[in-house]
Amino acid sequence: MSVHEPTGNTPDSVNTKDATLPVHAQSREVEPAVLDGELVAEPPGPVYERPKINRLVSRWLRSPRVPRYLKDRRQAAQAGKDLLAAILRSPLRYMGAVVRGIVAAARWWRQWVTVRDYREAAEQAEKLADKFAEIRALTLFRWKVTGAVAVAVAAALLVADLVHGPRALWIAGGGVSVALAILGRRREGSPGRKAVLAGPRTLTWTMDPQILVDAFRDAKLIGKDETLRLVERAARVGDGWAITVDLPATRKAADVIKNRDALASALAVDEVQLIVERVRGNGGHAGRVAMWVADQDPYASPPVRTPLLPMERWDAWRPVPFGRDARNRRVDLPLVWTSLLVGAIPRQGKTFAARLAAAGLILDPHTRLYVADFKAGKDWDAAAAVAHRFMSGDESEHARMLIGWLVELISEVQDRYRRMRALDDSICPESKVTPAMSRDPSLNMPITAIFIDEVQVPLEDRSPVTVEGKKLTAGEYVGELLTWLAKKGPAAGIVLVLATQRPDSKTIPSGLRAVLGSRFALRVMDWRDSNIILGEQMNTRGYDSSRLLASHKGVGILRPDGDSEAGADVLAVMVRTYYMPNEDWQTICQRGRALREAEGTLTGHAAGQDTTPVPDHAAAAKAIGAGNASSRADWRVHELPEPLASVVDYLGADLEPDGREFVPTAELTEALDLEATTLAQQMSELGCQPTRYRIPTEDGETRRVRGYLTAEIRAAIERVAADEISSSDDARGDRP
């Protein structure tokens, strides 16, 4: 029931703003406000009927007590197959159990008839000689009992045969075989003879779950007396077997992922064949593991061509088809609102991977492209037909040209933010470009992607540039501009895709790496390089791209942006990129050009208007705050002695004043593979003394550990830099 407000003769004082202001009473007889109302019955709220049967079905499906094979058709089919296989194998298994039973019974009888226990007791008490006569008598007696029982059984069988016919013999034989089968059944921990050098281990866990449990125990993923719980029985999925199990309480699925190699060894498969994932969300928990074991190397098959090839066009806002995982599931890569770093040693497929990302954007005519190919090959040439700006070369002049582009993009981003602030909320609800805004020609805010292949070339360029009176190398300036763009650009619709052959921290500034959202690491030389691309400690979580095989071209570890839909569920995934040879790439670029011509969005280099932007360095320097930029760059410029250089490498952005405050010695020794005493000695030679510091532990407590304050490490770097400068000044002074 609700009371409706009066509408007709409402006094103004009730509804107008002024009425809320205090009013001085003119006289005592103030006319009271007359509120006119009407009682009406509240209309009944909508009743959403849920049929009972639906409720039952949903409870059935959600109940943890109902086994999976009664909920899922695939699991039911697998259960049926398993049952059939068990029935077919049962005669053999029965025979095996009977034979084992006969052996066990014979062993027992031998021990009994030779009075083994009595004899051993006498031996231990060193009274065998005294008891010898007794033991002999007992042995004789037991032999006689055996003979009597054998005669009695034979006689009983003969009588039964004469009275009831051979049926009786069959029944007796059946009964004895059942007893023997029970005696010889396989039990956990049952003793058996184990071969010293058994044959090769093979993958038989799909038949015998005990082998899976043993493998988890052997890999030390569960304790000796712990076991697994089956969530989804082993079933054929694609070209392999999938199974989902629950670990014992307190064991973590993350640890299984981390120790995938040990599990692969215990299961006798190559680690590329074993995929281990956590089951997340409603159907999963921190101890639920989904495993998939491929029948053979999943990357040995011919690569799959990109599905973009037959597409007429693509929407840049949709994640771009990037590749397939080992289970042949599609892996898409969101690009808008994020940025991508691709790293690997040469000839592993970096350019191919970066081109895949580009292909999706090329097929959207509302996307603007900047392509800088510092590889100076012909891999990117076809993109010149669609790119707003294009260059190919590895000289200093190209690095300078890139600086011009980046400064232009910084002004563009600032301009976009300014204009977005002025836009109506219905068009621009947050300070972020939306799909509609990016396609509106009047707003001129298209998704703008900049692809830089072999980005280490401009980042290592030592030619001097002067920005607002400050002297920098071109490489440092490029690093700072890229860092700013990677930080601020994505929300304004700028996508950065950087590919590098040298993913070390001296080349890619840690500040830049820290703000690149998505990472793709193809094969690298060691785990440090892998961590530099994928992020700190990723090797300890089971993601190390140095373990990939050289023959697996295009296979890498993709760590999607944690903020994106793809990155919300998985930390990282191993993927083999789609194969897009040059002719497919050229076709896509030509199609992209035709689309842009039709939409009237062909601009810049592709449209023959290749104007070099006039860089507004003053605005860019103001934006990136050139002052603090150089202090960070200093760490890279100066040649640091070991172990300081490795510490700087390892800590990366954590060493910034707004990064970590303290780093434990144990963490450094593990990361740098150094003895604690060696590290302490070398660091103290550089004037860096360890200290004790309280750090939070996993259970919420704090613990005092030894380590270094990052401020101390920064001070040591500055001392080295100061020494270097003074020694070079001295050297100059000494010159005649």
- What residues make contact with ligand ATP under the rule CB under 6 A? 303, 344, 346-352, 375, 501, 553-554, 576-577, 579
Could you tell me which residues are beta bridge partners of residue 704? 694
Tell me: is residue 252 an annotated ligand-binding position: no
Work out how close the CB of 351 gets to ligand ATP at its nearest, in angstroms, rounded to a whole number. Answer: 3
Q: Which is nearer to ligand ATP, 412 or 454 (CB)?
A: 454
Work out how close the CB of 350 gets to ligand ATP at its nearest, in angstroms, rounded to a whole number. Answer: 4
Q: How far apart are CA 427 and CA 429, in angstroms?
A: 6
Tell me: is residue 351 an annotated ligand-binding position: yes
Q: How far apart are CA 463 and CA 38, in angstroms?
A: 84
CA proximity to 458, closest of 412, 406, 516, 382: 406
Q: Which is nearer to ligand ATP, 455 or 626 (CB)?
A: 455
Bridge-based pairing of strands 330-333 and 470-473 is unpaired
Q: Which is nearer to ligand ATP, 101 or 458 (CB)?
A: 458
Work out how close the CB of 323 gets to ligand ATP at its nearest, in angstroms, rounded to a whole number. Answer: 7
Bridge-based pairing of strands 288-294 and 274-278 is antiparallel
Could you tell me which residues are beta bridge partners of residue 558? 520, 573
Q: Which is nearer to ligand ATP, 338 or 577 (CB)?
A: 577
Structure tokens at 662: 């303290």
Which single residue brings its beta carbon nearest to ligand ATP? Answer: 554
CA proximity to 451, closest of 529, 549, 320, 362: 362
Structure tokens at 380: 């990117």
Tell me the three state secondary structure of residue 575: strand
Q: Which is nearer to ligand ATP, 97 or 331 (CB)?
A: 331
Cβ–Cβ < 8 Å for 372, 405: yes
Structure tokens at 652: 């990366």
Q: Which is nearer to ligand ATP, 314 or 352 (CB)?
A: 352
Work out how close the CB of 341 gets to ligand ATP at its nearest, in angstroms, rounded to a whole number. Answer: 14
Work out how close the CB of 529 gets to ligand ATP at its nearest, in angstroms, rounded to a whole number. Answer: 14
Q: How far apart are CA 121 and CA 116, in angstroms?
A: 9
Work out how close the CB of 317 gets to ligand ATP at its nearest, in angstroms, rounded to a whole number. Answer: 24
Tell me: is residue 144 an annotated ligand-binding position: no
Work out how close the CB of 524 gets to ligand ATP at its nearest, in angstroms, rounded to a whole number. Answer: 11
- Give the largest CA-CA distance in the chain: 134
Q: How far apart are CA 251 and CA 712, in angstroms?
A: 38
DSSP strands (E only) in 403-459: 447-453
Quick one: CA dihedral 389, 390, 395, 397, positive or negative? Answer: negative
Tell me: is residue 636 an annotated ligand-binding position: no
Q: How far apart are CA 324 and CA 72, in angstroms?
A: 26
Work out how close the CB of 581 gets to ligand ATP at its nearest, in angstroms, rounded to a whole number. Answer: 7
Work out how close the CB of 533 gets to ligand ATP at its nearest, in angstroms, rounded to a whole number. Answer: 13
Asked if residue 643 has a cis previous peptide bond (ω within 30° of 0), the answer is yes
Residue 152: exposure state from Cβ atoms within 10 A (0-12, 13-18, ≥19): exposed
Structure tokens at 496: 């950065």
Q: Which is nearer to ligand ATP, 263 or 354 (CB)?
A: 354
Work out how close the CB of 499 gets to ligand ATP at its nearest, in angstroms, rounded to a whole number. Answer: 7
Residue 136: exposure state from Cβ atoms within 10 A (0-12, 13-18, ≥19): exposed
CA proximity to 240, closest of 294, 184, 169: 294
Q: Amino acid letter at 534?
A: L
Q: Which is nearer to ligand ATP, 554 or 560 (CB)?
A: 554
Tell me: is residue 345 an annotated ligand-binding position: yes
> DSSP readout, 212-274?
HHHHHHHTTSS-TT---EEEEEEEEETTEEEEEEEPPTT--HHHHHHTHHHHHHHTTS-GGGE
Cβ–Cβ < 8 Å for 370, 455: no
Q: How far apart are CA 321 and CA 337, in angstroms?
A: 17
Could you tell me which residues are beta bridge partners of residue 276? 291
Tell me: is residue 75 an annotated ligand-binding position: no
Residue position matching structure tokens 């260059």? 391
Work out how close the CB of 46 gets to ligand ATP at its nearest, in angstroms, rounded to a whole number. Answer: 54
Q: Which is nearer to ligand ATP, 348 or 483 (CB)?
A: 348
Q: Amino acid letter at 498?
A: L
Work out how close the CB of 346 gets to ligand ATP at its nearest, in angstroms, rounded to a whole number. Answer: 4
Residue position matching structure tokens 């050229």? 586
Q: How far apart are CA 671 and CA 540, in angstroms?
A: 10
Q: What is the 3-state secondary structure (H, E, C) of 50-63?
A: CCHHHHHHHHHHHC
Q: Which is nearer to ligand ATP, 360 or 554 (CB)?
A: 554
Q: Which is nearer to ligand ATP, 242 or 516 (CB)?
A: 516
Tell me: is residue 133 an annotated ligand-binding position: no
Work out how close the CB of 536 gets to ligand ATP at its nearest, in angstroms, rounded to a whole number. Answer: 24
| DSSP designation for 106 | H
Using the CB atoms, write b or e for 221-248: b if 16+ within 10 Å: bbeeeeebeebbbbbeeeebbbbbbbbe
Tell me: is residue 664 an annotated ligand-binding position: no
Structure tokens at 527: 């785990």
Work out how close the CB of 456 gets to ligand ATP at its nearest, in angstroms, rounded to a whole number. Answer: 10
- Residues in binding site for ATP: 344-351
Sequence ranges of the binding site: 344-351
